[in-house]
Amino acid sequence: MYAQLLISIDLENNTINSIEENSFCELKFIKLLKLSHNNLKSTSLYCLENLRFLYLSNVEYDGEIDQKKIGNPTSALLLDLSHNKIKKISLEKMARLKRLYLSSNELNDLTLDTIRAFPDLTELYISKNKFSEQVLKKFNILKNLTYLYLSNNYLSKISSSDLEENKKLYRLEVDHNQIEYVRFPSLENMGIVNLGNNKLRQINEESFSNLIYLDELYIDSNKIEKIHAKAFKFNELLFKLDLSNNFLTTTPDIRMLSFLRILNLNNNKIAILPNNPFERYQWVKINIFSKITIDLRNNNISSYSSKSFCAQGTCSLGYLGFELLLDDINQMDKCLLSQLGSDGNSKIESSLQPSCEHLLMAKYKNIHLNGDMSQCQNVSIDLEKECYSNSKFKCPKNEELVRYSTWITGDPHLYSYKNKYELCSTGQDAVCFQYGDFQLLCSDSLAGGSNQLATVLVKVKFIYQVSESVSVTYEANSTSFPDFFDNGKTIINKNVDNVAVLSNTKDGMKAIYVPKANTHIFISRWNSYYSISLRSTHETYSQSTGYLYEGCRLQDQMNAGIKKENFECDSECSNIEISAVDENFPDEVIRDACLFDCHEIGTNSTAMIKTMVENIKTFILSDSNTNAESSLTRITATITSQTKSDTTKENKGIHLIENKLLRFCMFFLTIYIFY
């Protein structure tokens, strides 16, 4: 009699292999039944229509299972059939079902009829089966689905039409699949996505742009080599970003991630830390209580840019606390630590023992750095002289203009702002740089010996969109290296403003200056091949697109090939004269580029890279002439010895300008020599 009043029965982990048909028929109040870890392969259940929770995990079910075999639990809220060998499941009417566990079976599909049987399902666990991405569209029926676990299946992609009706979906686990491409639909409730252990090679601008409330994103253990500069532009609420165990060569852009607390870049291929890699936009509403941990271990970072811990327009990175995990802090110039705050909330952990210089600098800056200070009792350094008087490591403030060089020359040598040095083929009319109303297009073609391993720039096209229907261009190609824009002038006007100026230098180089972008574009020519050097601010780069900012697209990358022994080339490239120091023209990169040109095209082709580095001083000098639109004529004169003017009035004033320029250059040269 009392048995009939039972509301729960737990028979798990027994050796039950049969159950009589009427065993549960008299139990009118039973709500929970646990039969997991028994052998019910040949057993059917009965009279479970009023049950709320049914556990049948590891009961040796195989083949096809229907609702009748499991007792027709039409009132069930939870059904667990995981860890069996089920190949097909047929459910008919389980309208109250909220949680369904089917993981670790042999399912490759769920029929629409079965999915319609549980319209109010909120949690679906189907990991470790044989599902492909085709099943995702079927889940659009499940309007209340909140948790979807699809790990360890055979998905190859997620497209914008998959899951697009699952507006309540919060957590998606699709790790350990074969996913090569993702582009999520608009899912405003999505908070956690796990894409770990897949086959992603790149993250596109649209991959996660529709997941605007994403909290945690796991893309670890893929094959990611490229992340679009604006890949996380719309994920402002992201709390954790795991990119560990990939093939990244640079850091992702996290400027918009004002709530980011954990950035895991462990075990990638980042050899150079770029400028401003961890900044956040100052116009973004910053959470003042933010603290971030960045893991850069197992990257073998050997070079740090001079502004590695700076942020545009501020001396702070925008974090209340900053924790950095490194392999070897000794690869970093100690003066870089001066860029971190002195509030005691910065912490650096180095796997290798820090040098005394780094420990002393950290102590001076109130930075917590692991290491043994006892060995540094007799060591002293003049931090004021070595670091604080060295402008190289000072973070610029709002009123200070600091510009950086990027370049692409004849062969596939690209030195981009984000990805540094790569070998790259642009193809035809590729966007090398685009900002605001102007863009710079590049076209290349194969060159060199029989192997055709090199590409050379054969066309450069600058386009300024003056209005919706009017554009002015400058095109240099195999037959023409003009002195004017296609409007017949050296100036492009928009309303009353000069928006671009073209200059012709004494050595034949062309320079295009775009005042509103604080950008100079230098174009030089060897035979019918071109080289481009671009000089602009961090702010402009970070709002731009194209090769010179983002680096090579994955499909455009080229291999460096095997280094060849060639005495003539070694001699030709061993003593290249670099006119000024610029960290974006590293000696070893210039030499490698020179050797590549020499081997693949010929000794004479080294003139391309040599001409470019001979003009580095010119590039740097152009920084002094970017302040006011009224000074455009003076800007032109500074980097040229002659400019073809468009008006008689401009011609009359040029001699006066040249005299002022001469005095300015002599003054600057004196400072440069003795400084």
Could you give the CA distance from residue 140 to residue 145 in angstroms, rounded to a whole number?
9
Question: Which residue type sits at 236?
Answer: E
> What does the pLDDT read at residue 402?
83
**What is the tens place of the pLDDT at every residue in 524-543?**
998 888 999 999 998 899 88
Phi, psi of 381, deg, nearest 5: -135, 150
> What does the pLDDT read at residue 364?
87
> What does the pLDDT read at residue 332?
94
Asked whether residue 5 carries a pLDDT value surpassing 80, the answer given is no
Could you give the CA distance from residue 350 to residue 445 in angstroms, rounded to a whole number?
46
Q: Report, as an integer, the average pLDDT of 138-158.
A: 97
**What is the tens place of the pLDDT at every residue in 438-496?**
999 999 988 765 555 678 899 999 999 999 999 999 999 999 999 999 999 999 998 87
* Maximum CA extent, the chain: 115
Q: Under 8 Å CB-to-CB from 424, ≥6 apart: which residues?
A: 408, 412, 413, 414, 547, 551, 552, 556, 557, 558
> What does the pLDDT read at residue 110?
96
Q: Strand 53-55 relative to strand 78-80: parallel, antiparallel, unpaired?
A: parallel
> What does the pLDDT read at residue 555?
67
> What does the pLDDT read at residue 317?
66
Could you give the CA distance from residue 76 to residue 166 in angstroms, rounded to a whole number?
22
Walk me through the domains of the chain, giving residue ranges and CATH numbers. 403-646 (3.40.1000.10)
Q: Report, as an integer, the average pLDDT of 430-443.
A: 95
**Of the ranges 161-170, 381-390, 649-658, 665-674, the best mean pLDDT one:** 161-170
* Range with lowest mean pLDDT among 23-27, 289-293, 405-409, 445-449: 445-449
Query: Pick the residue with more confidence: 447 or 589?
Result: 589
Q: Report, as an integer, the average pLDDT of 130-140.
A: 96
Could you give the CA distance from residue 235 to residue 519 in angstroms, rounded to a whole number?
29
* Range with lowest mean pLDDT among 252-256, 342-346, 392-396, 599-603: 342-346
Res. 592 pLDDT band, cuts 50 70 90? confident
Q: Report, as an integer, the average pLDDT of 428-442.
A: 95
**What is the tens place of the pLDDT at every residue in 649-672?**
334 343 444 444 444 444 443 443
* Range with lowest mean pLDDT among 292-301, 425-434, 513-522, 581-590: 581-590
CB atoms within 10 A of CB 344: 11
> What does the pLDDT read at residue 373?
87
> What does the pLDDT read at residue 342?
66
**What is the tens place of the pLDDT at every residue in 192-218?**
999 999 999 999 999 999 999 999 999
Could you give the CA distance from residue 571 to residue 603 in angstroms, rounded to a whole number?
10
Return mean pLDDT, the chain: 86
Of 337, 342, 341, 343, nearest to 355 by C-alpha is: 337
Could you give the CA distance from residue 320 to residue 259 in angstroms, rounded to a whole number?
11
* Range with lowest mean pLDDT among 240-254, 396-410, 441-455, 609-623: 441-455
Asked whether residue 173 carries a pLDDT value surpassing 70, the answer given is yes
**What is the tens place of the pLDDT at every residue in 92-107?**
999 999 999 999 999 9
475-512 exposure pattern, b = at least 16 Cβ within 10 A, e = fewer: ebeeeebeeebebebbbbebeeebbbbbbbbeeebbbb
Phi, psi of 355, deg, nearest 5: -70, 165
> What does the pLDDT read at residue 459?
94
CB atoms within 10 A of CB 42: 8
Whether the CB-CB separation of 219 and 196 falls below 8 Å is answered with yes
Whether the CB-CB separation of 35 and 14 falls below 8 Å is answered with no
**What is the tens place of the pLDDT at every residue in 327-336?**
999 999 999 9
Could you give the CA distance from residue 261 to residue 163 in angstroms, rounded to a whole number?
28
Q: Report, as an integer, the average pLDDT of 57-61.
A: 97
